[in-house]
Amino acid sequence: MVLTVDSTHPGRVLPADYLGLSFEASVLDSPLLDPAGSNLPQLLRDLGEGRIRFGGNSLDRVTAWSPDAGRPLPPWAHARVTPEDLGRLGRLAALTGWRVDLGLTLGHFDAAAAAGEAAAARRLIGSGLGTVDIGNEPDLFSAGYTHAGYSYADYRSQVDRYRAAISAAAPGTELAGPDTAGSGWLAAFGRDERSGLAFLTQHFYPLTRCGGNRPTIAHLTSSATARREQHAAGVAVSAARGQGLPLRLDETNSASCGGQDGVSNTLASALWMVGYLLTAAQQGVNGVNVHGGLAACRGYTPVCLPGARGPVAGTEPDVDPIADLSLGAGRVGPSGKARLTAQPDFYALLLVRQVEGGRWVPVTPDRTGPLESFALRMPDGSIRLVLDNPDPHRAMTARVRVDEHVANRAVLLLTGPSLGATSQVTFGGKEVTDAGSWQPRTVERASIADPVVQIDVPAASAALVTLSP
C-alpha cells in the first residue's frame, strides 16, 4: 500500500499533557503514591508531564474527607482522604510535574466537607493542583445508584452550593466537570458553569463487563467498536466546542466494571488503545485519563502491583466483586519501596507520548484494511508516523511518500508474543525496568535514497516511524 503524507497543511497540536491516568478516590491513602514508596514517579516521568485524576465510583460510594484521621468515618464510608494523603500527592506532583485533578464527594452531600478538602488541597498540593471535580457520573444518580429521581436541575443546585463553599474556603480553585458517564449534560453544564470552568469532562468505555457481559478481543478490535468510539468522541467534542471549552475524557479504558481479564490486559488492548487515543485526539479531544488501579494485574490497568489482590469482596462495604477487585491499592510490604509493573496498556501510552506536542498532518489513506495511520509534524521538524496493525495473522508493508526530502528514518515497534499476551510486551525492543524506566534498545535506522520510504509493520504490532529532514 502507498501512504501519502501532506506535511504542508499542519493542523492542531496534540497537547503536551494529552495523556493522563485515572484512579479510584479510595486509593488516596496508599503509600504507593508516596514518591519514596514506589517506582510510580519514574513511571509517570516516562509519560511526560500529564494529569493524574482521582474519582471513580468509590468517590461517591465509600470515600469521605477526614481532616482528622482519628475521627470516625460516616457509616456509609470505608475509605478516607486525609491531609497527609494530600501532602503525599503534593510531593508526587512536585517531583514529576504532573497535575492533580481531585474528585470531591457529592453522592453524600456535604458542601462544607468538600470546601475543606479543596482548601487543604490548595495548601498541600499547591501549584500541582489542576482542578477539583464535583461528584462522579452524577447523570447515573437517577438510576437509583445514589439518588432516585436525581435530575440535572438537582445536580446544578448542588454544584452551586459546592462552588459557593469552595470559593469562600479556597478562592481561585479551578473546576472541571461534569464528570458524566454520557454527553447529555455537557453542553448545559458548560453553559451554566463556564465561569471558573477549566474544561469539560466525560467518561467513556466502548465495552462493558457489567451485567455479566464478557467482551472478547474480537469485540475490542471490531469496526463496530471503532464506530462507537468515534461517534461518542464526536458528540462530546461538538458539545464542548459549542461552549468554547476544551474536553477531557478523564475516565476511559476498554470495558467498564474493571475490564475483562485476558482482553483488557493484553497486547490487543495496547494496540487498540494506540488507535483509540490518537483517533480521539484527531477528533478534538484535548486529553484522556486512562483508568486503572494500583493493585491486581488483571482487567484494565496501565500499572499494577504483582501479588496484590485488591479489596476482598464480602469483607468491605460496597466492594463490587467485578468492578473493584483490581482497582484498589496494594499494600507496601516491610521490605521498602514497592515495584509497580507496567502492563501492556502502559506501552500504548509510551508510544502516544512520543507524538505529544506535534501538529497533525494529513495522511491518506488513514486506514487500509486493519492498518490505521497517523502523522504529526514534530517541533524539531521531523514527521512522526504511527502505523497500527492489530491483525494477528498479516504483516503489512507501507510505502510512504512525503512531500519533502527525507534524509533518514527510525522505527520503534510495539510488539509482543501474541495478540493475547499479557506479558513480554515491548516497545523499541525493551520492557519497562523494575525501577520504572524505559529506553528503547532496538531502533531500526536507515538512510533514505528513494523518495518513497518503505515501512514493514509485523502482524499484531504498531510502528512509530520518525522521518527526519
| Distance, CA of 368 to CA of 374 (rounded, Å) | 12
- Tell me, what's the pLDDT at 312? 54
- Tell me, what's the pLDDT at 5? 92
| Distance, CA of 421 to CA of 457 (rounded, Å) | 18
- Tell me, what's the pLDDT at 366? 83
Torsion of CA 268, 20, 29, 104, to 10 degrees: -120
- Tell me, what's the pLDDT at 454? 87
- Tell me, what's the pLDDT at 321? 46
Under DSSP, the state recorded for 307 is T
- Tell me, what's the pLDDT at 322? 45
The cell for 105 is 464527594
Asked if residues 106 and 149 have their Cβ atoms less than 8 Å apart, the reply is no
Using the CB atoms, write b or e for 130-159: b if 16+ within 10 Å: bbbbbbbbbbbbbeebbbeebebeebbebb
| Distance, CA of 424 to CA of 72 (rounded, Å) | 45
Q: In 3-state terms, what secondary structure has residue 413?
A: strand
- Tell me, what's the pLDDT at 310? 60
- Tell me, what's the pLDDT at 334? 56
Average pLDDT per block of 10 residues along the chain, 469 residues long: 89 97 92 92 97 94 91 90 97 98 96 98 98 96 77 95 97 97 96 91 95 93 96 97 97 93 96 98 98 87 82 50 58 71 98 98 88 96 96 92 84 96 96 95 68 90 93
Domain ranges (residues) in the chain: 2-9+358-468, 20-353
Q: Determine how many CB atoms are found less than 10 A away from the CB of residue 441.
A: 12
Q: For residue 413, give Cα distances in angstroms to 29, 181, 266, 428, 460.
A: 37, 34, 16, 5, 10
The cell for 343 is 502492563
Domain with residues 2-9+358-468, CATH architecture: Sandwich (2.60)
| Distance, CA of 351 to CA of 343 (rounded, Å) | 13
* Strand (E) or helix (H) holding 161: helix 152-169
Q: Determine how many CB atoms are found less than 10 A away from the CB of residue 325.
A: 20
* Strand (E) or helix (H) holding 81: strand 79-81
* Strand (E) or helix (H) holding 46: helix 40-46
Hey, what CATH topology would domain 20-353 get?
A: TIM Barrel (3.20.20)
- Tell me, what's the pLDDT at 315? 47
Helical spans, DSSP H, in 68-183: 83-96, 111-124, 152-169
